[in-house]
Amino acid sequence: MDSLTLVPLATHALPAWVPGAAVLVALAVDRWWGEPRERWHPVVWMGTCLGWLGRRVQSVTRQHSETARDYKAFWLGTSAWFAGAALVLIAAWGLQLGLAWALAAALGQGGWLHFGGPVLAMLLLGLLLKPLLAWALLRSEVLAVEHALSATDGGSLVRGRERLRWLVSRDVAGLSETQVRESAIETLAENLNDSVVAPIFWFVLLGLPGAALFRFANTADAMWGYPGIYQGHNWAWAGKWAARADDVLGWLPARLTALLLALVAGGLSLAQLRSEARRTASPNSGWPMAAMALALNVRLGKPGGYVLHAGARTPLVQDMNRAVIYASKALLALVLIAQAAPVLIAFLGRA
């Protein structure tokens, strides 16, 4: 049995080829069946849990000041984050461990179970991974913004803004057509990391618990990680830990996403990529956005915020499709890496 297993912290007692194959299963399910219904979606459950916890945190938060130190809100927000994270980790680890025990029993039975057990584990693990990543939905929503802007059946700026509103938290009312397109491309690049690359990265490294923890942290950041007042609540201190935790867990995947985009685009200067990535306030999101701007050779920016690749032209209709193509190729490169990485981890674990 030892010759078949991975490092215990990764996918406990599963054959080394199973995690990479499970990624393929997850992406296939994502491609053909899309997202689960909301009542069965674990990320929706995370959001519901965070909403309930957030309301409790906000009941003690100082709402009148964004600058005054509110340590009570900070520690309560931090404690609430850890409580939610513990629930997510226990559930994910329990599911993965159950698969490992079932597989061990199947291998011990001999016969067809000896060969069919790992395949069944691969399929089940892929099904469990799927809700933690969302490539097909991201791709379709980004392309829907461009269709709303430029469709021959009556595309318009108003329709483009409304469609973009589904994807971003920023105010879209005053955006021009160019700014709507820029925002959609930026969202594609940023969420290529948050919704696809990072979950797969942590899954390969730490199994289902790793992917689930990242999605919890990323969801918490989206709901709590604001530097001040958002939707009538003060998150300056209450959401500080959630924002920092997401920064830490997303640090390596964001740079991996940027490098994958640079690889598939070809000819990108890593020095220029690093310089452009630092123009945003976020320590992570600037990397995939800067890589996409350089790959397309277009200017991307947020009104009143940053400008990436400022000397380039503004994005045109065809650049949205090019951006999706680059993102798809980056994902393909990641999938190839995901097939080899678990085997390498298993080898190093036995060395």
pLDDT digits (tens, 9 = 90+) for 296-315: 999 999 998 999 999 999 99
pLDDT at 111 over 90: no
Instruction: At 339, list the tokens.
Output: 């097939």
Would you say residue 351 lies in a domain? Answer: no
Report d(CA 136, CA 63) in Å as an integer: 39
pLDDT for the residue numbered 110: 54
DSSP 313: B
- Chain centroid offset of residue 126 CA: 17
Report d(CA 124, CA 8) in Å as an integer: 19
pLDDT for the residue numbered 68: 77
pTM for this entry: 0.91
pLDDT for the residue numbered 152: 60
Report d(CA 170, CA 25) in Å as an integer: 34
Would you say residue 346 lies in a domain? Answer: no
CB contact at 8 A, 171 and 161: no
Q: What integer is the mean pLDDT of 21-30? A: 96
Partnered with residue 15 across adjacent β-strands are 5
Would you say residue 234 lies in a domain? Answer: yes
Q: 3-state SS of 211-276?
A: HHHHHHHHHHHHHHCCCCEECCEECCCCCHHHHHHHHHHHHHHHHHHHHHHHHHHCCCCHHHHHHH
Q: 186, 69, 199: which is closest to 132 by C-alpha?
A: 199
pLDDT digits (tens, 9 = 90+) for 115-154: 566 788 889 999 999 999 999 999 999 999 999 998 766 6
pLDDT at 5 over 60: no
Tally of domains within the chain: 1
Q: What integer is the mean pLDDT of 284-291? A: 98
Would you say residue 218 lies in a domain? Answer: yes
Would you say residue 350 lies in a domain? Answer: no
pLDDT digits (tens, 9 = 90+) for 171-228: 898 899 999 999 999 999 999 999 999 999 999 999 999 999 999 999 999 999 998 8
Would you say residue 130 lies in a domain? Answer: yes
pLDDT digits (tens, 9 = 90+) for 61-95: 888 776 778 999 999 999 999 999 999 999 999 99
Query: How does residue 278 score in pLDDT terms, banded at 50, 70 and 90?
Result: very high
pLDDT at 330 over 70: yes
Q: Treating both helix axes as pointing N-terminal to C-terminal, what angle do 286-296 and 240-265 enclose, rounded to 10 degrees? A: 20
Range of the domain at 155: 2-340
Would you say residue 348 lies in a domain? Answer: no
- What average pLDDT does the chain have? 89
Would you say residue 290 lies in a domain? Answer: yes
pLDDT for the residue numbered 149: 92
Q: What are the φ and ψ backbone dihedral angles of 308, each rounded to 5 degrees?
A: -110, 135
pLDDT for the residue numbered 62: 84
